Structure 1
Amino acid sequence: MIPAKREINDGKEELEEVIKRIENHINEKKSYLNPDINLKSFSKDIRLPERIISRAINRIEHKNFNGYINSYRVKECKRLLLSEKYEQYSISAIADEVGFSSRASFYKNFKEIAGVSPSEYIKSVNN
């Protein structure tokens, strides 16, 4: 028996499957690096309706789409900040590399997600 449409969209197991699909796509394509990514373009890329993506991220990850993408960007930024290859890059240049289109947005999101500023993060890791 095929479940009712509402059950497909709202069931925790189904939403967790959607999250797995989103994560696989993001990790394979590194779509978070695109500064122009938005829910509409991501929806087309992954071939899932916007509302399903949004609902899964909201209910499973407790974030909105932009917050979810920014968490990937901050994770990648933290990795690059510790990489020898990027040690000559400024923090702002690394922010550009990971898809942040504005310095203000980068610093706000980094501090919100990591709990410290980028320079404080570097200092804490180097100690």
Structure 2
Amino acid sequence: MIAIGLTLLGIALMLYAKRHPQSRDEDKVIDDEDELTLIFNKTIELVNAEKYYLNKNLKLSDLAQELASNERMVSRAINRFGSGNFNKFINAFRIEHSKELLIGGKFDHYTIEAIAEECGFSNKVSFYNAFKSETGMSPTQYRAVEQSK
């Protein structure tokens, strides 16, 4: 009889816990969100300051190591606050840099392939695809439009 009572009490406690989560769980979510925000902000600062996006071989693990964090947290921060995954995040920096080179005048004699390489892309195809995805036009079209202004 006591065993049945304890079992029912245990079930009741489990149901109560599911319906009334403890505030510690909510605090953990808030702390996690704060940590992700901090990691994301540090990631942006690091990528900008050190121009990590120019490194063709940049990996998530490289950034995580520099941030003294782990890959999972850096990836979660980028996915949560960035414009997609790690590759899209880094490519956004590369595209912004390439826009400057395409219209800067100083690099007018550079081919599109040379600009792609200068900006950290490993090949012309990935540069064209990322650029078109980000801007809606090819690098050549972008250069022509901007230079005609």
**TM-score of the aligned structures, taking structure 2 as reference length:** 0.76
* Structure 2 residue 31 is matched with structure 1 residue 8: yes
CA distance in 2, matches of 1:73, 1:53: 19
* Structure 2 residue 138 is matched with structure 1 residue 117: yes
Q: Which runs of 5+ in 2 are unaligned?
A: 1-23
What letter corresponds to residue 60 of structure 1 in structure 2?
F
* Structure 2 residue 112 is matched with structure 1 residue 94: no
1:85 aligned partner:
106
2:51 aligned partner:
30
What letter corresponds to residue 8 of structure 1 in structure 2?
D
CA distance in 2, matches of 1:15, 1:44: 16
> Highest Rg: 1 or 2?
2
SS of the residue 2:120 aligns to: coil
Mapping 1:66-81, distance limit 5 Å: 66-81=87-102
1:105 aligned partner:
126
The 10-residue stretch of structure 1 (98-107 or 42-51) with the greater mean CA deviation from structure 2: 42-51
1:49 aligned partner:
70
CA distance in 2, matches of 1:21, 1:41: 14
Summarize deviations over 1:67-110 as a string: whole Å, max 9, x none. 10001000000011111221111111010001000111111111
What letter corresponds to residue 103 of structure 1 in structure 2?
K
SS of the residue 1:86 aligns to: coil
1:112 is displaced (CA, Å) by: 0.4
Q: CA RMSD in A?
A: 1.6
Structure 1 ranges of 4+ moved more than 6 A: none
* Structure 2 residue 79 is matched with structure 1 residue 58: yes
Identity %: 36
2:40 aligned partner:
19
RCO comparison, higher one (Cα < 8 Å, 6+): 1
Q: Which runs of 5+ in 1 are unaligned?
A: none
